[in-house]
Structure 1
Amino acid sequence: MGPMREYTVLGLMSGSSLDGVDAAVCRFAFQGNSPVPESWSIIAADTLPYTTAWAERLAALPSADAYELALAHAELGRYFGEQAKLFLSQSGIESIDAIASHGHTIFHYPEHQMTLQIGDGAAMAGVTGITTIDQFRSQDMSLGGQGAPIAPIADQLLFPEQDFMLNLGGIANISAKRQDGYVAFDITGANQVLNALCAELGLPYDKGGAIARSGRMIPALFEKVNALPYHHQPYPKSLGNDWVREAHIPIYQQWGAAVEDRLHTACRQIGHHTAMAVAAIIKRERVSTQRPLQLLATGGGAFNSFLMDCIQESCQALSLGLNVAPASSQLINFKEALLMALMGALRLQGLPNVLPSVTGSRRPVSGGALHLGQL
């Protein structure tokens, strides 16, 4: 069976909401060469908030010049490094094997085999003295993959009992078991859309979905968003924040109606496309519906009870026989940081950490650029 190997990794995820960096120190125990952890746990977790200056700077970078982008890449890496040191110190953690940082996505264009996550891992390793892994998506894309979604590796190895895993982050994505592995893809814009509408009210987000619940459906707006070509493409497929910003959000922002009605419609739209995604997977992968299927929801959107109701109602309308449930609060908040820690632990062992059945890549890869903290 081989020896037991333990890895303690700090996973860092910077999402599109720009509220901060999700950080989770996770411990994994592996037996022999198996990629499936015998056990795993989250030792410490927190969201490390961005300063206002950093949040505004990151939001503006997609239209910045090359110098500003390169400078931000280096400076964000040093900032991540300092934040990681402080977090580890405050958590009383003296030693870890590695930092696994997703970085902050600026561009994601799989049709051009290009993705850009900034926050220089070499700078992080220099600041912390800890081996740092970054650039997890690039090699998959070099082999014809979408570079996304990457979450299914955690779904497969850590949550094998779930039929479907739904992440309601800035972008909603779904993964599902099939006979020979996993399938996963991005569904539609989610929290980015809802938060952009809340910003019109001077609010960061719609707590519990209360504002959306008070609104009414706008059928014409729903149909216009539904007509976006991405929503009708077969999987594998993936979205970038650029698509949400440029193609999705403006439709809602420019529609002349009360914010609560637009929020209501957006939640209904996310629910509808989630149900359609589940239905497509069940049909194409011939998923048995002889027993009730389980869907576990994570990401900040899982705290939006109205959005969760919309998803459940849309699934019921299609007679999918699906039980939709939110995960624990810790898992909702830190699943993506847990994912990064797992990908880092696999990368340290040279084991595959991106699933080609999900991304469309020609072969599995152990993705991530390794920057040694000490020689």
Structure 2
Amino acid sequence: MNKNQNMYIIALMSGTSLDGVDLVYVRFDELNDFKIMESETIPYSDYWISQLKNIASIPKGNQQLLTLDVELGVYFANLIGSFIESKNISKINLIASHGHTVHHQPEKGYTLQIGCGKEIHNKTSIKTVYDFRTQDIALGGQGAPLVPVGDQLLFLQYDYCLNLGGFSNVSFEECGERKAFDICPVNIVLNYYANQLGFPFDDKGVLSKKGKINRELLRELNELDFYKLLIPKSLGVEFVKKEIVPLILKYNLIEIDVLRTFVEHIAIQISEKLKKGTVLVTGGGAYHEFLLNRVRQLNSNLTLIVPESKIVEYKEALIFALLGKLRVESKINCLSSVTGAKRNHSSGVVFG
């Protein structure tokens, strides 16, 4: 990119909580200063919710996964086309697509995000970057989290960048290096139990606030081995199915008591892992006022800052736009200090 030349990027992100596909249209300058020009979350259709809800149970290499990869790529391309048309977007240099995570098993050297980037490029005729995680796994890393390089470049004024999405993750500077790790599940559990009560999510925490903490369940959750592991470390839906769900089912609690107990678990893990300073809070969980208040009560040394709604809701998509930009510029977009890979590198598959 020539000096003073802006780059216009559409990025899309599909989270594990299945609340929809986040799309952003971002302008970057050569210093990575940004402006979110347009943004939208498009809810998944009933068809795609049914296809993706239990997709992690489909084994690696299964033909069904290959078919869904292509089909979801076409679906993403159609969403992008509609987004371009409805927002009257005329200038696009790049599409950056995170895809939808099916499996994340770095300990087995494997991660899979579907939503074929080649199909996106074929249908839109726009250069597309996707599959940001596989190269890092091949280099011995966790393949996650990838957002911290964006935190470092775009949000360095905060001591911590905390994202509360399907899972909570945090990034921060330590001894001149960016560090990051996944803390614990958040909306992937909370949304499920809110759904059982007939709500799409626990708005502001009004449901969990009514429940009672089950101290034995809380103790068992906090004693899970993952929380004792050293960083780098990352979480996937497999952890929830293997470790979290069986514990919760063991206690046969009503939904609001599960929500209250799990909110306390999240608040404890966050308040213990973050020590002192300013915290930029983003992701859907940033609107869970009860959870944030519990974190403040448990650790008064933290100043939690919830930014404007565009940053809260679209920060991850924004940063994947940046990762795509860095990839096509052959600049580092994946930090070994974060993922544990052998070296820093520029990750992502490019079509076009």
Which residue in 1 is equivalent to 2:12?
Answer: 12
Q: Describe the SS at the equivalent of 1:203.
A: coil
Q: Which residue of structure 2 lines up, in the alignment, with residue 56 of structure 1?
A: 50
Shift of the alpha carbon at 1:53? 0.4
Match of 1:146 among 142, 145, 148: 142
> Which stretches in structure 1 are left out of the alignment for 5+ residues?
31-35, 280-288
Is 1:133 the counterpart of 2:129? The answer is yes
Query: Shift of residue 254 of structure 1?
Result: 4.1
**Residue type at the aligned position of 2:14:** S
Aligned AA for 2:293? D
How far 1:126 moved relative to its partner?
0.4
TM-fit CA distance, 1:64: 3.0
Deviations 1:175-226, CA, capped at 9 Å, x for gaps: 1112312110000110111112112212221111001111222111101111
Q: Which amino acid aligns with 1:339?
A: I
- Counterpart position of 2:315: 335
How do 1:171-182 residues align onto structure 2 when only pairs under 5 Å count?
A: 171-182=167-178
Q: Deviations over 1:130-155 (max 9, x none)?
A: 11110001111111111111111111
Kept after mapping to 2: 8 A contact 1:8/1:96? yes
**TM-score of the two chains, using structure 2 as the length reference:** 0.96
1:256-275 Cα shifts (integer Å, max 9, x gaps): 22221221111110010011
Aligned residues: CA RMSD: 1.3
SS of the aligned residue for 1:353 comes to coil
Distance 2:283 2:215 in 1: 27
Using the TM superposition, give the Cα deviation of residue 60 of structure 1 relative to its aligned residue in structure 2, in angstroms. 2.4
Q: For residues 180 and 113 of structure 1, what CA distance do their matches in structure 2 show?
A: 28
Structure-1 separation of matches of 2:107 and 2:58: 22
Residue from 35, 39, 42 that aligns with 1:41 = 35
Are residue 186 (structure 1) and residue 170 (structure 2) matched? no
Q: CA separation in 1, counterparts of 2:250 and 2:69?
A: 33
Partner of residue 356 from structure 1, selected from 320, 328, 336: 336
- 2:209 aligned with 1:213, yes or no? yes
The reply to whether residue 240 of structure 1 matches residue 247 of structure 2 is: no
Within 2, Cα distance between the matches of 1:332 and 1:3?
30
Supply the AA of the counterpart residue of 1:344: G
Kindly report which structure 2 residues correspond to 1:267-282, keeping only aligned pairs within 5 A, or say none.
Answer: 267-279=263-275
Distance 1:200 1:244 in 2: 17
Query: Quick check: 2:56–2:237 contact (8 Å CA) kept in 1?
Result: no
Shift >3 Å, 4+ stretches: none
Aligned residues: 349
Match of 1:115 in 2: 111
The residue that corresponds to 1:255 in the other structure is 251
Structure 2: which amino acid aligns with 1:40? Answer: F
Q: Secondary structure at the match of 2:81?
A: helix
Deviation at 1:250, TM superposition (A): 3.5
Whether the aligned pair in 2 keeps the contact of 1:197 and 1:253 (CA below 8 Å) is no
In the alignment, the residues of structure 2 paired with residue 249 and residue 294 of structure 1 have an alpha-carbon distance, to the nearest angstrom, of: 33
1:196/1:249 contact within 8 Å kept? no
C-alpha distance in structure 2 between counterparts of 1:338 and 1:12, whole Å: 9
Single out whichever of 111-120 and 325-334 deviates more from structure 2: 325-334
Amino acid at match of 1:357: S
Matched, 1:371 2:322: no
- Residue matched to 1:315: 299
- Provide the C-alpha distance between the structure 1 equivalents of 2:118 and 2:249, rounded to a whole number of angstroms: 39
Aligned partner of 1:143: which letter? L
**2:278 is aligned with 1:294:** yes
Asked if the contact 1:25/1:42 (under 8 Å) is kept, the reply is: yes
| Match of residue 156, structure 2, among 134, 140, 160 | 160
SS at match of 1:103: strand
2:3 aligned residue: 3
Contact 1:215–1:260 (CA<8 Å) still a contact in 2?
yes
Q: Give the partner amino acid of 2:47.
A: A
Cα shift at 1:326: 1.6
Residue type matched to 2:296 in 1? Answer: Q
Asked if structure 2 preserves the Cα contact closer than 8 Å seen for 1:105 and 1:116, the reply is: yes
List runs of 5+ in structure 2 lacking aligned partners: none
Measured in 2, the distance between the counterparts of 1:204 and 1:236 equals 32
Residue 305 (str. 1) matches residue 284 (str. 2): no
